[in-house]
Amino acid sequence: MAAPINVVVTGAAGQIAYSLLYQLAAGSVFGPDQPINLRLLDIEPMMGVLKGVVMELEDLALPLLKDVLPTADPEPAFKDAAAVFLVGSMPRREGMERKDLLAANVKIFKIQGEALDKFARKDVKVLVVGNPANTNALICSHYAPSIPKENFTAMTRLDQNRAQAAIAARLGVAIDKVKNVIIWGNHSSTQYPDAAQATVEVNGTSKPVPEVVKDDKWLNEVFVETIQKRGAAVIAARKMSSAMSAAKAAGDHMRDWWFGTKPGQYVSMGVVSDGSYGIPKDIVFSLPVTIQNKQYKIVQGLNISSFARSKLDITAKELEEERAEANTVLQQ
């Protein structure tokens, strides 16, 4: 049995964490042979709730879970961390401008970035789930200069899962028959869910999704808008944001980062742009990646149509604006 690794979850008393923690403790993310120590970080007023979460983790009686530390202090939380789920963030409230949301989150992710820089392992894998996830990841990385910037990612796997499920439903096939749907850009309503590169297995043969759907209007309009607005639709119905599906996506993202992608398949992750596909450098942009040995590589050479290019430009512009607003806050 391997030595335990320290896994951090922030916002640990919240809804997403509640669904995520069981996956982690049961071995669904890091595998059935990897013991873990959970480090649960939240704000002081949530410590009472977190105490109840810890009781439940104890009552699960899962053999892989070796130790649980609930805390409001970033230092013990991030000490020797191997993997980090930054779930906690300031949620957008009614009437709140984006710059106000960014200002609140800059403070949170500055503190967490500094703590990661001081206390975490230098090969730590950091996944930002809390919104605005892409720019929060950029801020966090900025304040952890001793950790490679490629070790900071933002979650767009939920959007990828949604897109894959929507295409499978449209075609009446099992979800695992649809592969290589891409989410480009920001985890926001400007993201571009792209089925042009996707394939679907029909009667044992892999075919391009557009060829099987045979409806460009649906793919370019209904499908795109449905995925872009899916989070808002869940909130409207549930009166709370996505939690179970977000937690599942966070687990999917980290598991693939840990174990790698299957041959011929890629996944979408918010990563620091290197200029691929004409995307501005140094914004965290969702791109298709393959993963081996815990290192991801941006998939190169995909054909970008003029329609797709227009969508990529819109979401890149939003991320540049977010970065500028965050930098303004940082300089205050």
Residue labelled with tokens 């993963």:
291
The annotation status of 162 as a binding-site residue, yes or no, is yes
Q: Distances in Å between the alpha carbon of 216 and those of 156, 179, 188, 209, 222? A: 24, 18, 23, 10, 10
Closest CA to 187 of 156, 143, 142: 156
The annotation status of 130 as a binding-site residue, yes or no, is yes
The annotation status of 255 as a binding-site residue, yes or no, is no
DSSP state of 281: T
The annotation status of 238 as a binding-site residue, yes or no, is no
CA 19 from centre of chain: 15
The annotation status of 170 as a binding-site residue, yes or no, is no
Helix (H, G, I), strand (E, B) or coil at 84: strand
The annotation status of 42 as a binding-site residue, yes or no, is yes
How are beta strands 182-184 and 178-179 bridged, if at all?
unpaired
* CA–CA separation, 171 and 286 (whole Å): 26
DSSP state of 92: P
For residue 313, the tally of other CB atoms under 10 A from its CB is 14
Judge whether 187 counts as a catalytic residue.
Answer: yes
| List of residues 6+ apart from 298 with CB closer than 8 A | 271, 274, 276, 287, 288, 289
* CA–CA separation, 252 and 248 (whole Å): 6
CB 24 within 8 A of CB 30: yes
Q: Distances in Å between the alpha carbon of 89 and those of 51, 298, 302, 306, 321? A: 20, 27, 34, 36, 20
For residue 188, the tally of other CB atoms under 10 A from its CB is 20
Query: Which residue in the list 125, 187, 230, 311 is annotated as catalytic?
Result: 187
User: Which residues are annotated as catalytic?
Assistant: 187
Residue list for the binding site for substrate: 92, 98, 131, 162
Residue list for the binding site for NAD(+): 42, 105, 129-131
